[in-house]
Amino acid sequence: MDDLGDAPATTPLLSVVTPTFNESENLPILVEELHAALDGIDHEIVVADDDSPDGTWRVAEEIARTDPSVRVMRRFHDKGLSAAVLDGMSIARGEYLAVIDADLQHDPTALPAMLDELRSGADVCVGSRATEGGGYGDWSASRRFVSWVATLIARVLLRVPVSDPMSGFFMISESAYARAAPSINPRGFKILLEFIGRNRDLRVAEVGYTFRTRTHGETKLNGSVIRSYLLGVAELRLGRQVDPVFLLYVLVGLVGLGVNSLVFTVAEAAGVPTITTGLNDAIDPIEGSFALSVMVSILVLFVLNNEFTFWEERYRGWKLAPAFGVFFLMSLIGTLVHVAVFKYLQSIGFLLSVLGADWSRVAQNLIGAVVALIVNWYLNSTYLWRRRQR
């Protein structure tokens, strides 16, 4: 990475770190707004850009040539919002460090009040849309619902003491940053959650602000954001000893189990006939309801795993067909395990006396599917969606 801006001759009171990616139109406006909001407060602006294709780093360098308070970091490796924020903080010189997005949706006029909270004794001050004086602007009902669910997850699982844990707008004292930084995961999804979720001793305050509408560029909110958020919460709650991607795989697997059981139950009720393959007397005849439930669940699991669990390694376009072919073959291995377990449990009458003939078959099918899920996780994560270093 390159730190291309000249450091200020004196230590500023406040360093404002803004992580950027394709924000060339918004950045000049943000710099002007920051200077206006912080008039009379000694400050610097640190732009941490992930080598934006639209040349945001170049725009920042042009600004820095005539504005010595602007410093530019062009990052080539380990890209991502949290890593960019941490890199920006690592070169910041201020006694207090603020984080603000460059998309103009955070309101810079809230910064002086946030600074007052820190100077009054808080370690972290969160720009909150959910506290008094805050608001979500013109968000749609669906986006408000997603935010509400995400906030509920954070408050219940992480017990963070803030009304808007999803906020990316906050300020932290340099001393609190120095204490907390060694424990922070640079690949975490929400950097605020990394600070307050891992360091419960931090004193947290809030200042309300109204979320503004983006006028330039494109929103970064998409399906991968939800995935990344769930990964981040899982990692914060369970620690780094548990692979959070496996937890997503299990979550998708549970959906697959639900689909499998639903299709199996409906097919049983509909009287789908048995199938005779003629290949092996040990497995013939195969229940038609069983075969149908397996085929439908394989399709559902492939789609969900490709689009959700292994999003970073997902297949697109013409590659989907061969990828599904490999997934199907791997699933056959799991299916053989599934069949073997299912048939064995049937042969010993597992749960027959407890649940009766019909429901014991459903339970036996579920147990076989769970064993197959574990086998398929190993095969899929090792071969088909093998994770690459990014």
172 CB-near residues (< 8 Å, 6+ apart): 96, 97, 118, 123, 124, 125, 180, 195
Q: Which of 78, 159, 160, 76 is nearest to 124 (CA)?
A: 160
**Is 18 or 289 the better-scoring residue by pLDDT?**
18
Here the tokens at position 232 are: 């981040």
Here the tokens at position 238 are: 């369970």
Mean pLDDT computed over 156-170: 83
Same domain as 316, residue 283: yes
Q: Which domain holds residue 128?
A: 2-238
Judge whether 389 lies within some domain. Answer: no
Query: In this prediction, what percent of the chain has a pLDDT beyond 90?
Result: 37
- pLDDT tens-digit map of 339-352: 888 888 888 888 87
User: What DSSP string describes 174-203?
Assistant: HHHHHHHGGG--TT-S-HHHHHHHH-TTS-
Q: Do 341 and 368 form a contact (C-beta atoms < 8 A)?
A: yes
Same domain as 257, residue 230: no
Residue 221 has pLDDT above 70, yes or no: no
pLDDT band at 169 (very low <50, low <70, confident <90, very high): very high
Same domain as 298, residue 206: no
CA dihedral 24, 29, 31, 34 (to 10 degrees): -140
- pLDDT tens-digit map of 180-213: 888 887 666 578 888 888 888 899 999 999 988 7
We report the CATH number of the domain holding residue 55 as 3.90.550.10
Query: What pLDDT does residue 389 have?
Result: 39
Q: Do 54 and 26 form a contact (C-beta atoms < 8 A)?
A: no
Query: What pLDDT does residue 45 have?
Result: 96
Residue 256 identity (one-letter amino acid): G
Q: Which residues pair with 97 in a beta bridge?
A: 15, 172
Number of domains forming the structure of the chain: 2
Judge whether 390 lies within some domain. Answer: no
Same domain as 251, residue 233: no
